[in-house]
Structure 1
Amino acid sequence: MHKDLHEANRLSWNAATRAHNSHKGDQALFFRNGGSTLFPEEQGLLGEVQGLKVLHLQCNSGQDSLSIARLGADLTGVDISDEAITFARELATGSGIAAHFERADVFDYLGSAAVPDRSFDLVFSSYGTICWLSDLTAWAQGIARVLKPGGRFVFVEFHPYAMVFDEQWRMHYDYFNSAPLAQDGVSDYVAESGDGLALGVYQAGEQDFANPHPSHEFTWGLGQVITALSQSGLAIARLDEYPYANGWKGFDDMQDSGGRRMVPPAGMPRIPLMYSIVAHKQ
């Protein structure tokens, strides 16, 4: 486990989170007006959450967390970024939606939370999370420990096959890569995606963001994810792949095919751009 790189990523996320939220307008008003940031895929996979104790790992600034809490869940959100958790707590207060947020490295939280009074009916994680995890086995085992017997893990993530391409759709990165990838820092992907990730109308916000803190990512193939979860004692109920990316325009000339489902430009073959997993604790 590379805790030193996790700490570097925390600093990078603190800087990027401020830029991200600058483009989303009055988010508390968005939620007070009944808004939700969940896409249909997450809603369908989560199912009925009324009365369930839900843990949202790597919750970022809490928008999806509050969308789940509004459906009746007893929601705890965890993220490594100080900036994100501070924003999430303020957003919960401003929106009037009850949720609990904790600032912690996900591995530290999963280790400390594995006690009887802090077990969960459902653990959720989504979109751009797994690349920040340096130890997939510890992650999967931690999820299994905090789930109640019969509890579910719901996971939605960008497809690792798509991550072999650079922004111009040229094959550039290895699918199989065991070494951390040093990056210039977490980007302002909200600005890059425009209306795709805005809450309502995109706001100009911070311009020409350049992250002063480098970041470090980890590459995990689909087989590694499935194996880690299954070997931790979780039974895989379903694995789905999707030929679109919800909200995120990570590559040149992506088009909105409807419902903010972003697809490659016309003429390109369809490829998997995201995937989802539902697993149960046996």
Structure 2
Amino acid sequence: MRNDLHEANRLSWNAATVAHNSHKGDQAAFFRAGGTTLYPEEMDLLGNVAGLDLLHLQCNSGQDSLSLARLGAKVTGVDISDEAITFARLLSAESGIGATFERADLFQWFDDARSAGRLFDRVFASYGTICWLSDLGVWARGIADVLTPGGRFAFIEFHPFAMVFDASWKPHYDYAPKEPVAEAGVGDYVADSGAGLAVDGYQDGVVGFRNPHPSFEFNWGIADVVQALIDAGLRIERVKEYPYANGWVGFEGMRDLGGRRMVPPATMPSLPLMYALAAVKP
């Protein structure tokens, strides 16, 4: 584990989160009016969550957590960023949607949850999460340990194949590199994606954001993820790939097919841009 790099990423996320939320307007009003940030693919993986204890890993500023709570789940969201958790708690209070938000490094949170005997019917993680984790074995074992017997882990993530490209679609990075990739810092991907990620209407907010804190990414292959979950004792029930990215405009010339499903320019072939899996604890 690289707790030093996790800490560096915490600082980088604290800075970036302010910029991200500056583009999204009055989010509490959006939720009070019945808004949701969930996509059909996520609900297909999770199933009916009403009345279930649901753990949302790396929940960021809590928008998806509150969308799940509105569906009747008893939601606990965990994130390493102080800024994100502070925002999530305020958004919960101002929207009137109840959820619990806890700030912690995920690996430490798993240790504490084991000691306390905490269990959940569903565990959920989505979009740009595992690239911030230095050890997938620790991650997978943590998930298995906090699931109830018969509980389900639902996971949707950007496809690691797409991560070999730079923003102009040129091959630049190794596939699933063995060493962490140092970057200038978590960027303002909400500004880059516009209405794709600012679902209630994009606002200029912070302009020209430059993160003062570097970040470090761990880009895992699909086989790494699947094997880690199998080794942790979970049973893989479903694996699926998607030729689009929900909301995220990560590369030049991406087009919206409708429903904020972003695809490469028409001059390019279809590429896998997301994948999803569901796993169950026997």
CA deviation map 1:126-178 (0-9, x unaligned): 00001000000000000000001110000000000000000000111000411
> Any idea what SS the aligned residue of 2:251 has?
coil
Q: For residues 60 and 17 of structure 2, what CA distance do their matches in structure 1 show?
A: 8
TM superposition shift of 1:47: 1.1
Query: 1:38 maps to which residue?
Result: 38
The 3-state SS of whatever aligns with 2:198 is coil
Amino acid in the other structure paired with 1:55: L
Specify every segment of 5 or more residues in structure 1 that has no aligned partner in the other structure, as ranges: none
Q: Work out whether residues 160 and 176 of structure 2, in 8 Å CA contact, stay in contact via their aligned partners in 1.
A: no
Aligned residues: 282
The percent identity for this pair of structures is 67
State the partner residue of 1:272: 272
Task: Give the 3-state SS of the residue equivalent to 1:118 in structure 2.
Answer: coil
Determine the structure 2 residue equivalent to 1:154: 154
For residue 114 of structure 2, give the secondary structure of its aligned residue in structure 1: coil
Q: Equivalents in 2 of 1:97, 1:46: separation in Å?
A: 20
Alignment TM-score, normalising by the size of structure 2: 0.99
- Check conservation: 1:59, 1:77, Cα contact below 8 A: yes
Aligned twin of 2:163: 163
Distance 1:111 1:265 in 2: 44
Q: Specify the alignment match of 2:281 in structure 1.
A: 281
Q: Where in structure 1 do 4 or more consecutive aligned residues deviate above 6 Å?
A: none
Please name the residue that 1:252 is paired with: 252
Q: Counterparts in 2 of 1:116-265, with a 5 A limit?
A: 117-265=117-265
Pairwise CA distance, 1:219:
1.5
Shift of 1:205: 0.3
- Structure 2: distance between partners of 1:4 and 1:199: 34
Is the Cα–Cα contact under 8 Å of residues 27 and 199 in structure 1 kept in the other structure? no
Deviation at 1:114, TM superposition (A): 1.6
**Aligned residue type for 2:138:** A
Q: Is the 8 A contact 1:16 1:211 kept in 2?
A: yes
Query: 1:199, CA displacement in angstroms?
Result: 2.8
**Partners of 1:157 and 1:275 within 8 A in 2:** yes
Work out the CA distance in 2 between the residues paired with 1:108 and 1:176: 25
User: How far apart are 1:115 and its partner, in Å?
Assistant: 4.5
Structure 2 match to 1:51: 51
Paired with 1:37 and 1:72, the residues of 2 have a C-alpha distance of: 15
Structure 2 residues without counterparts, runs of 5 or longer:
none
After superposition, the C-alpha distances for 1:71-111 in whole angstroms (9 at most, x for unaligned) are: 00010000000000000000000000000000000111111
One-letter identity of the residue aligned with 1:132: W
* Deviation for aligned residue 1:208: 0.1
- In structure 2, what residue type is equivalent to 1:276? A
| Deviation at residue 117 of structure 1 after TM alignment | 4.5
| Corresponding residue of 1:9 | 9
The equivalent of 1:107 in structure 2 is 107
Name the aligned partner's letter for residue 278 of structure 1: A
CA distance in 1, matches of 2:23, 2:173: 30
Whole-Å Cα distance in 2 between the matches of residues 176 and 200 of structure 1? 35
Contact in 1 for aligned 2:245/2:274 (Cα 8 Å): yes
| CA-atom RMSD in angstroms | 0.7
